[in-house]
């Protein structure tokens, strides 16, 4: 885990739960990680309360990173209201490689550095198979 930093997945419906379950199946138990499922029927106030509760349940001494499914969606828009320099960061486009990196990463980097590292790692693992296999 990223030492001292909590991770909250905030996604549409059951996506975050499925990512967490898959990551746990591959790596074992994850500490300081939880998820919030944003359902179509949820009100903004309810989602904000759920995110706030999730942050407080995992936030380490160096803050929390909210990993959301897509920029501009309801989970992202509400998560952005928690953005606080040095305390809470938001990274969009969560994918399984990012979570696997969280599980394997043990560092004392800052919250901002950890967020950038997760973003970069997620990007590196998005491939077009034909391009990748041809070496282009």
Query: Three-class SS of residue 2?
Result: coil
Considering only CA atoms, which of 67, 18, 70, 77 is closest in space to residue 42?
77
pLDDT of residue 40: 95
Q: How many CB atoms lie within 10 A of CB 118?
A: 25
Task: Note whether 11 and 79 are within 8 A (CB).
Answer: no
Considering only CA atoms, which of 66, 120, 63 is closest in space to residue 97?
120
Query: Three-class SS of residue 38?
Result: strand
Q: What digits encode the pLDDT tens for the residues 9-24? A: 999 999 999 999 999 9
pLDDT band at residue 124 under the 50/70/90 scheme: very high
pLDDT of residue 103: 72
Mean pLDDT of the chain: 92
Q: Is 80 or 111 the better-scoring residue by pLDDT?
A: 80
pLDDT of residue 37: 98
Helix (H) or strand (E) holding 8: strand 6-12
- Which class in CATH covers the domain with range 4-132? alpha beta
pLDDT of residue 1: 63
Q: How many CB atoms lie within 10 A of CB 29?
A: 7
Q: What digits encode the pLDDT tens for the residues 39-86? A: 999 999 999 999 999 999 998 888 999 999 999 999 999 999 999 988
In percent, the amount of the chain with pLDDT more than 90 equals 76
The whole-number average pLDDT for the span 102-108 is: 72
Check whether 2 has a pLDDT greater than 80: no
Query: Three-class SS of residue 34?
Result: strand
Kindly list the domain boundaries of the chain, sorted by start residue.
4-132
Q: Name the phi and psi angles at 131, rounded to 5.
A: -60, -50
What DSSP line would sit under 53-102, residue for residue? HHHHHH-BTTBEEEEES-TTSHHHHHHHTT-BTTTEEEEES--HHHHHHH
């Amino acid at each position: 885990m990223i030492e001292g930093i909590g991770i909250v997945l905030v996604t549409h419906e059951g996506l975050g739960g499925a990512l967490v379950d898959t990551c746990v199946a591959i790596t074992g138990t994850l500490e300081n990680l939880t998820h919030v499922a944003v359902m179509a029927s949820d009100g903004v106030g309810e989602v904000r309360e759920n995110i706030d509760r999730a942050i407080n349940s995992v936030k380490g001494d160096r803050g929390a990173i909210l990993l959301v499914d897509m920029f501009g969606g309801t989970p992202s828009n509400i998560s952005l209201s928690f953005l606080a320099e040095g305390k809470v960061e938001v990274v969009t486009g969560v994918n399984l490689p990012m979570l696997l990196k969280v599980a394997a990463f043990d560092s004392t980097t800052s919250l901002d550095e950890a967020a950038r590292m997760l973003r970069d790692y997620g990007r590196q693992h998005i491939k077009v198979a034909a391009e990748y296999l041809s070496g282009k």
